[in-house]
Amino acid sequence: MEQLENAIELKNVTKRFGKVIANDSVYLTVKKGEILSILGENGSGKTTLMNMLSGIYFPDEGHILVEGKEVTIQSPKDAFDLGIGMIHQHFKLVDVLTAAENIILGLPGKGALNMAQVEKDIKELTEKYGFDLNPAQKIYDMSVSQKQTVEIVKVLYRGANLLILDEPTAVLTPQEADKLFAVLRNMKNAGKSIIIITHKLQEVLALSDRVTVLRKGKYIGTVETSEATVESLTEMMVGGKVSLDIHRADPVDPECRLKIEDATCVNHEGLKILNHVSFEANSGEILGIAGIAGSGQKELLEAIAGLQHIRSGKISYYPQDGSTHTLSDMKASQIRNLGVHMSFVPEDRLGMGLVGKMDLTDNMMLRSYQEGSNPFLDRETPKNLAKEIVEKLDVVTPSISTPVGRLSGGNVQKVLVGREIASDPEVLMVAYPVRGLDINSSYTIYNLLNEQKEKGVALICVIEDLDVILELCDRILVMNNGHITGIRDARKTTKEEIGMLMTKNTEEEK
């Protein structure tokens, strides 16, 4: 009898990718009309597990039960037929189509399309749950939160009873996240079951009825949210007591290394991606850059590194030897030779700093191969550097002739950051250095950065996680929409203040 209340039940589900076990006999139940959180660090197997529910992956072992009946989900279509709908972290929408066209994609119904009728149906649905959506708008004209709305409506339109949301608030402002939570509660009250994948404890506590915790692919347990606390969940998530404190030394004799004055950058569509930006970066300190994804963080670092042309303004560099250089007039390679280095960890971890198909040695020389006038490559020096980095940073790799694309995310990032540090920079810029890393690997990276800080390097770090940025950095620069909305002392400010600055309306200023 009790089984009937379960919308979904997973028993003993295991999934392997080659030698990696992504999910190791995981159990999970979701009741009707409840919100379940799946909590776990990045890489703990949350998304893989949900991808098996939505038909993207097929489990190697185990059973899936929907409303008490064992089922086989071989494709997303099977999942839809069972009333399971997933909203992925990376939206699966076709840019050149309208919201309505995306919503009806793949649905049965023969013959000619009546878009007017479809749009009317969608309007009804959005009004019922309180969404804000124009069905005739093209996806490429939409904001991130609008796109998310399309994804959710798409799933509901198909009559899903179970909604799975993968890190839904990662790309939203706090205000947008609140709006989303309200809609989710409406849906729960209408009898839908909802699974939220997240690693943000506050959200778990604010929204869900129960929490299932995964760690490194293993099932740890399920608890009632009302009985859980931040501490108890953290412990389940990271396993045992781990000090969350990041060691932070006070800056020693900070000197101005970089001075950015009134820099403005324009993208190819004519929009200002950096809007009259001014700040300084000092030696021996970590300057954190906070902001919602796409606020101009990347462009800012690229402008300093000479990879992005600035339309107006000036970037000056004052190295230890007392000279002065105007970086905004120089080429990327010259800037690097002066000791201003950048390592950028893109979403796929490889795309910009490393070449996945090349081995460690060849990747080491990516920045330095041009040195000297010999037309042939020197592979000895980078080979030794690769050995050194592997040893010093505990990079797990079969050998230095393994393609970096085969290494795990944490090791790739160690290689990436390690290479930049190896050549003794005076200014080191890192973007998303712990993106996708587990806690231990993250700490290795934090330690690396702190080591550089103590050596007197001026560090600029773009970091997504506000908790980390508050604990790691000395000063925090907040960006929104290409503007700097504030620079705060990390020791004195609060998460709320930074959050407010991240969403501060930039148009009203002046």
Partner 1 sequence: MAQANMTKVQEPFVRMVKRDTISMQKAWAIRLIAVLLSLIVCAIAIVPITHQNPVEIYAGIVSGAVGNSRRIWVSIRELLMLLTIAVGLTPAFKMKFWNVGAEGQILMGGLASAALMIYAGNAMPNWLLLIVIFIASAAAGLIWGIIPAIFKAYFKTNETLFTLMMNYVAMQIITFCIVFWENPKGSNTVGIINSKTQAGWFPSIFGNAYVLNLIVVLLITVVMSIYMKYSKQGYEIAVVGESESTARYAGINVKKVIIRTMALSGAICGVAGSIIVSGASHTISTSTAGGRGFTAIIVAWMSKFNPLAMILVSAFLVFMQEGSIEIATQFGLNKNASDIITGIILFFLIGCEFFINYELKFRKKHEEEVQA
Partner 2 sequence: MSVILVFLQKAIAQGVCMLFGASGEIMTEKSGNLNLGIPGIMYMGGIAGLMGAFFYEGAVENPSPVIGLIVSAICAILCAGLGGLIYSVLTVTLRANQNVVGLALTTFGVGFGNFFGGSVSKLAGGVGQISVATTASAYQAKVPLISEIPFIGPVLFSNGVLTYVAVALAISLAYFLKKTRTGLNLRAVGESPATADAAGINVNRYKYVATVLGAAIAGLGGLNFVMEYLGGTWTNDCIGDRGWLAIAIVIFAVWNPINVIWGSFLFGALSILYLYVPGLNRGSQELFKMLPYLVTILVLIFTSFRNKRETQPPASLGVAYFREER
Contact footprint for partner 2 (CB under 8 A): 17, 54, 56-58, 75-77, 80, 86, 88, 92-97, 101-102, 104-107, 109-113, 138, 140, 154, 268
**Do 482 and 273 contact (CB within 8 A), yes or no?**
yes
**Which of partner 2, partner 1, none has residue 96 at its interface (CB below 5 to 8 Å by kind)?**
partner 2
Q: Give min distance, CB of 356 to partner 2, in A.
A: 13
Contacted by 104, from partner 1, partner 2, none: CB < 5 to 8 Å by type: partner 2
Query: CB 20 → partner 1: shortest distance, Å?
Result: 11
Name which of partner 1, partner 2, none residue 344 binds, using a CB cut-off of 5 to 8 Å depending on partner kind: partner 1
Residue 354 neighbours by CB distance under 10 Å? 26
Q: Vertex 292, ends 286 and 296: CA angle to 5°?
A: 70
Spell out the long-range contacts of 71-76 with Cβ–Cβ below 8 A and sequence spacing 24 or more: none
**Which residue is associated with the tokens 């190819």?**
268
Question: Sign of the CA dihedral 441, 445, 451, 453?
Answer: negative
Q: Which is nearer to partner 1, 69 or 495 (CB)?
A: 69
Nearer of residues 102 and 275 to partner 2, judged by Cβ: 102
CA distance 509 to 244: 37
Rounded Cα distance between 298 and 291, Å, is 11
For residue 122 the two structure tokens come to 């969608």
Which DSSP letter does residue 283 get? T
- Identity of the residue, 201 or 273, whose beta carbon is nearer to partner 2 in the bound complex: 273
Task: Please select the residue that binds partner 1; options are 89, 189, 312, 370, rule is CB under 8 A.
Answer: 370
First to last CA, the chain: 65
Query: Of 420 and 474, which has the nearer Cβ to partner 1?
Result: 420
Cα 64 to Cα 16, 47, 166, 253, distances in angstroms: 17, 16, 19, 60
Distance, in Å, from the CA atom of 260 to the CA atom of 80, rounded to the nearest integer, reads 52
What is the CB neighbour count within 10 angstroms for residue 417? 25
Residue 21 contact among partner 1, partner 2, none, beta carbon within 5 to 8 Å by kind = none
Question: Binding string, 320-349, against partner 1, x = CB under 8 A?
Answer: -----------xxx--x-----x-x-x---
Q: Which does 470 bind (CB under 5 to 8 A by kind): partner 1, partner 2, none?
A: none
- In eight-state DSSP terms, residue 116 is H
Nearer to partner 1, 188 or 419 (CB): 419
Which of the choices partner 1, partner 2, none does residue 358 contact, using the CB cut-off of 5 to 8 A by kind?
partner 1
Residues of this chain that interact with partner 1 (CB under 8 A) are 18-19, 58, 63, 69-70, 72, 74, 307, 331-333, 336, 342, 344, 346, 350-358, 362, 365-367, 369-370, 374-377
